[in-house]
Amino acid sequence: MAAAVSQRVLKAPACLCVFCGLPGAGKSTLTHRVLGTATEHGWKAAVVSYDELIPEQAYYSEVEEDGVKLKDMHTNWKSHRQAVLQYIEQFLKRPEVVVELPSSPLIHVAAWQLCVQPLLQPEELNTDGTPQLFLLDDNFYYQSMRHEVYQLARKLSLGFCQVYLQCDLETCISRNQSRPRPTPVKVIMEMEKRLECPNPHKNPWEFQSISLNSTNDVSKSDIQRVIELISMALNNPLSPAEDNTEQKEADRLKCAMSVVHQADQACRRLISEAMKTARENQVPSEHMRVLAARLNECKATFLLDLRKQFLQEVRFLQEEDVNVAQVVKRAVESVFDDKKNEILSQFIIIHKTM
């Protein structure tokens, strides 16, 4: 089977294969095993490890901001992710540029040069038609994060596929704890709540996806399944869409993100008003800290639910020409505002009865 896969004439020049899952699910371990097998097949492959490419301070500033901030919550982290895709695009168009890239605040250029090293060949061999594989290793826990990769594959007519590593939360946490620099447990737990694993039934663009259970050891036949998936993707390159289905899908995700962003802003304003009221009622500073944490936690849960709800309903909203800003306003006022008042009154009452 392996030889048969490698000898077929493959139609795409390159494949973007996304590996997604929780921290500790085993993505890096698997990508390196796939890299080894792909090389044995005579393919050129590179592991694009976001952790190695994106400067560490970008990640930790996101995490530490309010204890459980996830790295996507900020446009800043998004711009790092987009920079990775821009580097891939540039490499595919002009690989020779990689040796003279200027330094960048978004990406470790030296790490990038090292990452694509296996894809570079002496000039006389560059036209040998060997496919290039980019094994993208990050959590990719929202489908919108993976969709950005899909869009690049479509733009450049590349193969695209996804491998989801399904692993128990407890296993991820325990593997993570044994690492020299573990990801905060809270971050893993928050990510698990938000995780949108590939769902080809709901999102047709995710049709070339497999799920591997990595709670136990990943077997040789799992690796073989990944190789076959990549081979299939290389044989079925994406093409820029002739109808506007994909554009609609991208608009839908963009709309959902904008809804969450607008709601986030509105909640922040309400939280800051609540903090002001608490101060005016002389709630002591140690209680103010707890109050802020409770309100932020409540906001995170509200935004998470809102995002899920909008991803399901936004198509309907767009078709019905509903005013999204109005809907957001109503949701914030009717759901979050009530919860906020409930939390605030608990603190004011406690303080007054002390």
Task: State which residue, 31 or 208, has the beta carbon closest to ligand ATP.
Answer: 31
Check the CA dihedral 308-311-315-317 and report its sign: positive
Q: Per CB under 6 A, does 159 bind ligand ATP? A: no
* Residue 26 touching ligand ATP (CB under 6 A): yes
Q: Could you say which of 29, 104, 113, 121 contacts ligand ATP (CB under 6 A)? A: 29
Crossing angle for the helix pair 285-319 and 324-331, nearest 10 degrees?
150
Count Cβ neighbours within 10 Å for each residue of 315-339 and write b for 16 or more, e otherwise. eebeeeeeebeebbeebbeeebbeb
28 binds ligand ATP (CB under 6 A): yes
Residue among 174 and 245 whose Cβ is closer to ligand ATP:
174
CB of 289 to ligand ATP, least distance (A): 29
Q: Which is nearer to ligand ATP, 173 or 291 (CB)?
A: 173
Q: Provide the minimum distance between the beta carbon of 24 and ligand ATP in the complex, in angstroms, as a whole number.
A: 5
For position 139 contacting ligand ATP by CB under 6 A, the verdict is yes
CB closest to ligand ATP, residue no: 26
Question: Is 214 an interacting residue with respect to ligand ATP (CB under 6 A)?
Answer: yes
State which residue, 88 or 218, has the beta carbon closest to ligand ATP. Answer: 218
Give min distance, CB of 235 to ligand ATP, in A. 28
In the list 5, 10, 18, 27, the residue contacting ligand ATP (rule: CB under 6 A) is 27
Chain-centre distance for alpha carbon 347: 36
Q: How far is the CB of 188 from ligand ATP (least distance, A)?
A: 9
Per rule CB under 6 A, count of chain residues that contact ligand ATP? 16
51 contributes a contact to ligand ATP by CB under 6 A = yes
Tell me which stretch binds ligand ATP (CB under 6 A): 76-84, 203-211, 213-221, 236-244.
213-221
Could you say whether residue 25 binds ligand ATP (CB under 6 A)? yes
Q: Which stretch binds ligand ATP (CB under 6 A): 78-86, 175-183, 226-234, 333-341?
A: 175-183
Residue from 20, 24, 306, 336 that binds ligand ATP (CB under 6 A)? 24
> Residues in the site for ligand ATP, rule: CB under 6 A?
21, 23-29, 51, 139, 175, 179, 183, 214, 217-218
